[in-house]
Amino acid sequence: MGRQKGSTLTERARKTVPGFDSMYKKLEQKIKLSGLSTSTLINYGRSMAKISLHFGKTPLDLEDDTINEYLLEIKAGEKPSESYFKHTVYGLRYLFRLFGREDRAIQLPPLRRKSQLPAVLSQAECKRLFRAPKLLKHRVLLALVYSAGLRLSELVALRLEDVDSDRMQIRIRQGKGNKGRYVVLSSLALQGLRKYYLAYHPKAYLFNGQVKGKPMGKRSVQWVMRSAVRQAGIKKQASLHTLRHSFATHLIEDGVDIFTVKEQLGHAHIETTLRYIHIARNIKRTDVHSPLDTLYQS
């Protein structure tokens, strides 16, 4: 629904705001050539469309004071949206740089990063979560996400040939920023995957969707997680990404060095990984492994 709404706004701006169509085409071309995600184009396009429809002009034709007042209105609104404010500022910066107006991008207000630490499941909660789903497919799916610290987009894109049982690795073809990497393949996760394969016989994608030849949808995966959290009696605000946070935290608690954890997660900067140091407790060993393999040893 969000994508349709964003597309409608962009289409309306392209038809009604002078100069928006040519500006958007250049923005779209640059984002695609830069290898940025489709969601980046949608978010930037939607935010640029909103401000353009609001004033009847593109941001390139607006004064700096007008743009700053608009941003202030967003921040001071009755229901301020942090994500919309962020996409608007980032979108404006990207747009001005694209059109050689770096001076304007510099004058835009800085974005403050929230320092709130992510929620992490305990080992006992992970065990309850993986037992909760009735379907083998769902149990294996959740355990695999935790075992390798996968993002949702990485999970649904996995193909059968990406699981390398000889090297005990999983190939991530395009992670965040379109960067590929290899992550650890848990021996316990591999056992589950083999049982799942014999029972479901997936084709092409590791987790097939209802439509033939298509992967399992992101919303379906999120539903599996929500249902499992509820059935497991977990009271924390846990999403599928919580399993990735738990993967990183449990690895550090098991003594795996921070640089190895960074590479497993596919982080571009070590600072992103360092936050898990503040969550981890009782740091133990220094060997490299999947946390799923030690989950049932305690």
Give the full edge-to-edge strand order of the sheet including 163-164: 163-164, 169-172, 181-184
Given the residues 86, 101, 151, 171, the one annotated as active site: 151
Given the residues 176, 181, 275, 289, the one annotated as active site: 176
Tell me whether residue 181 is one of the annotated catalytic residues: no
Given the residues 50, 104, 244, 250, the one annotated as active site: 244
| Whole-number Å distance between alpha carbons of 176 and 208 | 22
Establish how many alpha carbons lie within 13 A of residue 164's alpha carbon, considering only the half-sphere containing its beta carbon: 12
Which residues are CB-contacts of 29 (< 8 A; sequence separation ≥ 6)?
none
Tell me whether residue 54 is one of the annotated catalytic residues: no
Tell me whether residue 226 is one of the annotated catalytic residues: no
Residue 121 has phi, psi (to 5 degrees) of -85, 145
Q: How far are the Cα atoms of 8, 24, 53 from residue 64, in angstroms, in the given order?
A: 27, 20, 17
| Whole-number Å distance between alpha carbons of 64 and 84 | 19
| Whole-number Å distance between alpha carbons of 221 and 137 | 11
Which residues are CB-contacts of 272 (< 8 A; sequence separation ≥ 6)?
262, 265
DSSP string, 115-138: -PPPP---HHHHHHHHHS-SSHHH
Given the residues 24, 94, 146, 276, the one annotated as active site: 276
Given the residues 171, 267, 275, 289, the one annotated as active site: 267
Tell me whether residue 241 is one of the annotated catalytic residues: yes
Residues known to be catalytic: 151, 176, 241, 244, 267, 276
